[in-house]
Amino acid sequence: MKLYGFFRSSTSFRLRIAMAWKGLPHETAPVSLPNMAHKEPEFLAVNPQGLVPALVLDDGKVLTQSLAMLEWLDEKYPTPPLMPTDIDERWYVRAASQIVGCEIHPLNNVRVLKYIKGSLGATADQSQAWYEHWLAEGMTGLERFLVTQKRHGKFCLGDQFTMADVCLVPQIYNAMRFNCDLSPYPTAMAIFQNCDALECVKTTEPSTQPDKF
């Protein structure tokens, strides 16, 4: 397998964590987002959306969209699992994952930040304020969700590492890179600290990647 991604891309980080968790060997193919390599014909031939990550399987099939990719990996390689077996717990894990993947990340990814600065003329301070506002909106919702559901423990779902944790970790790394105040989210941050101690995170976090700069 060949994983196309960018070291700071939180969606790429999700796939790196999941593949390390499952012990899946793969080739890494860096795609420089600042250099617009994702818009070059060579990469568009892999993923016409021009987005990372993209996973090319040994038979040449290409998988895209990180949440769908995570579930595919878990169905194809079920051990160790990233999804629980209970249907209600599966809903819970998907819901927590989508708070990050659908409510926080889309408003703060590199495409959006470049647009508001480039096309809309936002200053660096305005861009930072945008990031902090939507991060706070989403993280407040996630914190309340975790607390009211009362299913969390060491990880988002008790002591079972799941797709929800895979989504949470890169988002926190990203928020820390933007110097966001994360103290209002003690439940999420305690979970993050537990996840961050795992080998599958320590060996895949951005500073360990060959394309880091």
Reference 50, options 66, 37, 63, 67; nearest CA is 37
> Whole-angstrom Cα distance, residue 209 to residue 213?
9
Q: What is the pLDDT of residues 175-205, one digit of tens each?
A: 999 999 999 999 999 999 999 999 999 999 9
> Whole-angstrom Cα distance, residue 53 to residue 47?
9
Reference 10, options 132, 176, 128; nearest CA is 176
| Structural element, H or E, at residue 133 | helix 124-149
Residuewise pLDDT in 10s, the chain (213 residues): 999 999 999 999 999 999 999 999 999 999 999 999 999 999 999 999 999 999 999 999 999 999 999 999 999 999 999 999 999 999 999 999 999 999 999 999 989 999 999 999 999 999 999 999 999 999 999 999 999 999 999 999 999 999 999 999 999 999 999 999 999 999 999 999 999 999 999 999 999 999 998
Domain boundaries, the chain: 2-80, 87-200
Architecture (CATH level 2) of domain 87-200: Up-down Bundle (1.20)
**Can you tell me whether residue 92 is helix, strand or coil?**
helix
> Whole-angstrom Cα distance, residue 61 to residue 128?
38
Question: Scanning the structure block, which residue is given the tokens 């250099």?
Answer: 35
| Structural element, H or E, at residue 28 | strand 27-30
CATH topology (fold) of 2-80: Glutaredoxin (3.40.30)
